[in-house]
Structure 1
Amino acid sequence: MTDLWPAIHAERAALAADLETLTDDQWRHQSLCGEWTVEEVVAHLTAGASIGPLRWIRSIVAARFDADLHNRRRLAEHRGATPAETLDRFRAIVNGTTAASKHMPAWLGEVVVHGADIRRPLGLPDVARFFVARNFTVNSRKAARGLRLAATDGPFASGDGALVSGPTLAIVMALAGRHAYLKDLTGPGVNLLQARVE
């Protein structure tokens, strides 16, 4: 499952790009993750990407297996004195490969879910829109050119041309070059998308 690291890195990079223009009020905005603000969720993501298995075990034992206490302590450790510093700390882990376990889908899910926790209440562009708009760590914009991409599980739709439809995550992962997700997509544009991401 180590091949998920590029997708994790791309998700983090997309989130960092979305956070660059936030105002102080937006950083203080309530996220969808419990009582945490946007800034606290970002600090939590940094914390999760900064702790290996042994340190995680020590931290959770020190918190007497209270996951909320463990998370609050790690969040405080990785939150900056200002939102700009919190964002700088997050940027520093974008391409990191530190994780508390080898469960890579969990770490991809962590950044996808918490990214949505931040983006939805702020109305920021979602990951799929980022991928069709830019070639960042993958040539996703090039892959999407001339195709009509439409999610079957949400509002995402972009482009003109041969239709590619399916779950939003499958569209994003296919644009990121994850061939396994192509089978979850339908439409006359799938073969062209497949040729572009091979």
Structure 2
Amino acid sequence: MTPRPSSTIWPVVHDERRALIQDLDALQPQQWQTASLCPDWDVHDVLAHLVDTAKATRLGFVRRMVAAGFDFDRDNAAGVARERAEDPGRTLAEFRAVLTRTSSPPAPLATRLVEAFVHGEDIRRPIGISRDYPTAHVATALRYQLKTTVKIGGGKEYAEGWRLVASDVAFEHGAGQEVRGPAIVLLLAVSGRPVEVGELTGPGAVPFAQRIRS
């Protein structure tokens, strides 16, 4: 019998939340103000966003989108403002309180993996923290991003014209010049995050990384 997505995805999401809490417990006060990989958000903002999305429910999401005029960016900004405490320690405590929640906006559960992995790196990379992510689940998140349009948070258009190959898990996608790298790096790239050319190999590595950065 094939496991239900909820039985395989939520434990991974909870593990990622737990690992991020452990990493953030050691931050110095000034590090919370470090610019994240999310434009216009610092590390504290991204954590507040993760608290907000962990609390999201299907009905609540619909109500919020109506209030935001169906503007995702406006809704996200409102969520960050709502959950970002003056003291980062309080925001982290709230994230700890929602660690085991399994509520979600009305979207495929694979989006919870995308959220956990990408926002985890949005925070970790700028402050110099590394993590070994579960590659099979990163590949699941990557597959979702590659079939989903950028307009609704995916990365389908970013990958058009390239053959993406993961170097650490069985994964291949598309046709064109080959771009090879760890699954987490490919996931970041097709999620619109800048990656270093040195993290990728193959004849398409340089133009692909430059395209993402532009």
Mark yes or no: TM-score above 0.5. yes
RCO higher in 1 or 2 (8 Å CA, sep ≥ 6)?
A: 1
The Cα of 1:102 is off from its aligned counterpart by 5.1
In the alignment, which of 69, 82, 93 is matched to residue 88 of structure 1? 93
2:79 aligns with 74
In the alignment, the residues of structure 2 paired with residue 79 and residue 99 of structure 1 have an alpha-carbon distance, to the nearest angstrom, of: 20
2:210 aligns with none
In the alignment, the residues of structure 2 paired with residue 14 and residue 117 of structure 1 have an alpha-carbon distance, to the nearest angstrom, of: 14
1:114 aligns with 119
In the alignment, the residues of structure 1 paired with residue 183 and residue 76 of structure 2 have an alpha-carbon distance, to the nearest angstrom, of: 29
Report the TM-score, using the length of structure 2 for normalisation.
0.60
1:145 aligns with none
In the alignment, which of 45, 50, 58 is matched to residue 45 of structure 1? 50
In the alignment, the residues of structure 2 paired with residue 83 and residue 23 of structure 1 have an alpha-carbon distance, to the nearest angstrom, of: 10
In the alignment, which of 140, 144, 167 is matched to residue 152 of structure 1? 167
Q: Which amino acid aligns with 1:86?
A: T
**Residue pairs, 1:1-198, within 5 angstroms:** 1-3=5-7, 4-101=9-106, 103-128=108-133, 152=167, 167=182
Contact 1:29 1:37 in 2 (8 A): yes
In the alignment, the residues of structure 1 paired with residue 82 and residue 109 of structure 2 have an alpha-carbon distance, to the nearest angstrom, of: 24
Figure out how many residues of one structure are paired with residues of the other and give that number: 136
Contact 1:18 1:125 in 2 (8 A): no
Q: Which amino acid aligns with 2:6?
A: T
Contact 1:11 1:111 in 2 (8 A): yes
The runs of 4+ residues in structure 1 deviating greater than 6 Å are none
SS of equivalent to 1:33: coil
In the alignment, the residues of structure 1 paired with residue 167 and residue 28 of structure 2 have an alpha-carbon distance, to the nearest angstrom, of: 33
Unaligned ranges ≥5, structure 1: 130-150, 154-165, 170-198
Contact 1:128 1:168 in 2 (8 A): no
1:82-119, Cα deviation, whole Å (9 max, x unpaired): 00001001111111111112511101110100000010
Q: CA RMSD, aligned part only?
A: 1.9
Unaligned ranges ≥5, structure 2: 135-165, 169-180, 185-214
Q: Which amino acid aligns with 2:70?
A: F
In the alignment, the residues of structure 2 paired with residue 101 and residue 60 of structure 1 have an alpha-carbon distance, to the nearest angstrom, of: 12
Contact 1:43 1:79 in 2 (8 A): yes
Contact 2:61 2:106 in 1 (8 A): no
Report the TM-score, using the length of structure 1 for normalisation.
0.64
